[in-house]
Structure 1
Amino acid sequence: MGGESKEQDHHTGERKRFLYVVVCAAGIAGQVGRLIAAAQEDGWDVGVVATPQGLGFIDQAAVEARTGYPIRSAWRKPGDPRPLPPPDAIAVAPATFNTINKWAAGMSDTLAVGILCEAYGMGIPIAALPCLNTAQAAHPAYRESLDRLRSMGVRIGSCEPEFRWEEALELLDPPARP
């Protein structure tokens, strides 16, 4: 996951923090620009990694124009350059039933889930905003997966009727306590 961020903070000259936004296949995924904009306003440089199915839910050209990086959704070939710098943190938004369960089980069958599985071993902070229906949320495998992810240090957002993109940033960078 090597490389360098192409943007530096204009005030300090240091490399900006780099956030991976992992996008899964959910209807709300088309609004991922909200999270990207909020992260950029908060001083993050952002790259998007989409599940293969999630790619169909987002405007690829708009996301790439906003971030300045290509969307990753497939493994790169040996010898190909790494298109994104290494992440300082990861936000999984929206996090679907399928991705949450595969990730918790360590089933690294897509680039997105592979990155999430490796991030645990690398100590990279991760926030996940679940987006699923109540029938899926009632499944015992889902509850067990959330418990496992929490035990791995993953910060799980609320599964509210109104999806709050900014919650991912709040979970990753909570305000300082007085």
Structure 2
Amino acid sequence: MSTLYVFASAAQPVFDIARVIEDAQADGWDVCLGLTPTAARWLAGSLDGLAALTGHPVRWDDRLPGEPEVWPAASAILFAPASFAAVNQWALGTADTFVVEVVAEAVGLGIPMVAMPCVSAAHVRHPQFERSVETLRGAGVSVVVPQEPDPGFPWPLALSAVRERIVVG
């Protein structure tokens, strides 16, 4: 079974993450969930249930030296919702959170990745955002920027982009 790391930042769509995990599992993925520290705080009351749903511990912090890796290796990574800060940190290589550290390293490992930012229109117009998106795309990341106006976060589009990157097997 192929393993999909689903990473999420603190943005409103993170509250739908259980449904997304279920949809990915229905596609045949073994899912591991990683969160930014703020997203983990937002979902604190759901973390045990999310771990039970995936069959893996939910991670938001680095392992301590000597601790074993608790997740299987990733076949692909979906980072959605990806906040303005996370997209820029990833592109700049300033890996100060667990999920940004993993996706930054995954660029060098050639792991197929899809990012779907969840940012305001003002953030989209910020010059660094455009540079960051282009940097990530140049590194082989599929960055899907939803078009406004969209009344909801387009999770099906995110999962479809993952399907286009890799065949589950």
Q: What TM-score results when the alignment is normalised by the length of structure 2?
A: 0.90
2:25 aligned to which of 30, 33, 40? 40
Cα distance per residue 1:94-148 (max 9 Å; x no partner): 0110000000000011111100010011100000111011111110000100010
Cα distance per residue 1:48-85 (max 9 Å; x no partner): 11111111232212211210111111111111111111
Q: Which amino acid aligns with 2:120?
A: N
Where does 1:2-151 land on structure 2 (aligned, <5 Å)?
Answer: 16-58=1-43, 59-151=46-138
Is this contact kept in 2: 1:26–1:57, CA < 8 A? no
Q: What TM-score results when the alignment is normalised by the length of structure 1?
A: 0.86
Identical aligned residues as a percent: 37
Matched residues, number: 161
Equivalent-residue separation in structure 1 for 2:115 and 2:156 (angstroms): 11
The alpha carbon displacement at 1:169 in A equals 2.2
Is this contact kept in 1: 2:146–2:154, CA < 8 A? no
Equivalent-residue separation in structure 2 for 1:175 and 1:132 (angstroms): 23
Unpaired runs of 5+ in structure 1?
1-15
Structure 2 equivalent of residue 155 of structure 1: 142
Q: Which has the larger radius of gyration?
A: 1
CA RMSD of aligned residues (A): 1.5
2:156 aligned to which of 166, 170, 173? 166
Which shifted more, 154-163 or 36-45? Answer: 154-163
Q: Equivalent residue of 1:174, what SS?
A: helix
Unpaired runs of 5+ in structure 2?
none
Equivalent-residue separation in structure 2 for 1:61 and 1:135 (angstroms): 35
